[in-house]
């Protein structure tokens, strides 16, 4: 595993800890960090997050996280020894929502239950 990936794993763990334990804003919904991508020059960090809730909760949570950017960076400085602290950008990861929609469609088509077109394979 290369140095960049190790650092991404550490940053993901630390940012997750900071969001879950130190940010107490009630506007933040149930957030899961799905991935982080650090630029090769260590100056930019994209943090991919999934948020449970409707569109308004997602928008509110993203707005709060963007406002807490400085707070998160300061906490990262205390917890990690980095020469430069990357600029953090929070990106809403829609993959979980899309996966849930696909599952619903498949359930409606009865494919998940082993049935196709309403007929079971045993008949």
Domain residue ranges in the chain? 3-92, 94-123
Q: What is this structure's pTM?
A: 0.77
| pLDDT higher than threshold 50 for residue 104 | yes
Spatial separation of the C-alpha atoms in residues 73 and 47, rounded to whole Å: 13
Q: If we measure between CA atoms, which residue out of 74, 78, 84, 10 comes closest to residue 40?
A: 84
Q: What is the mean pLDDT of residues 29-40?
A: 92
At 123 the pLDDT is 46
Per the model's pLDDT, the better-predicted residue between 96 and 60 turns out to be 60
The domain over range 3-92 is classified in CATH as 3.30.365.10: no
Spatial separation of the C-alpha atoms in residues 8 and 36, rounded to whole Å: 6
CB atoms inside a 10 Å sphere around CB 50: 17
Spatial separation of the C-alpha atoms in residues 101 and 62, rounded to whole Å: 22
Between β-strands 30-38 and 44-52, what pairing exists: parallel, antiparallel or unpaired?
antiparallel
Quickly state the pLDDT bin for 115 (edges 50, 70, 90): low
Q: What is the mean pLDDT of residues 76-91?
A: 91
Quickly state the pLDDT bin for 121 (edges 50, 70, 90): very low
């Amino acid at each position: 595993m290369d140095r960049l990936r190790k650092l991404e794993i550490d940053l993901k763990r630390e940012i997750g800890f900071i969001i879950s334990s130190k940010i107490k804003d009630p506007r933040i919904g149930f957030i899961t960090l799905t991935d982080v991508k650090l630029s090769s020059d260590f100056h930019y960090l994209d943090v991919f997050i999934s948020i449970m809730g409707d569109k308004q909760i997602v928008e509110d949570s993203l707005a709060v996280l963007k406002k807490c950017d400085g707070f998160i960076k300061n906490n990262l400085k205390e917890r990690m020894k980095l020469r430069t602290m990357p600029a953090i950008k929070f990106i809403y990861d829609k993959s979980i929502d899309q996966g849930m929609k696909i599952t619903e469609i498949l359930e409606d088509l009865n494919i998940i239950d082993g049935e196709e077109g309403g007929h079971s394979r045993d008949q």
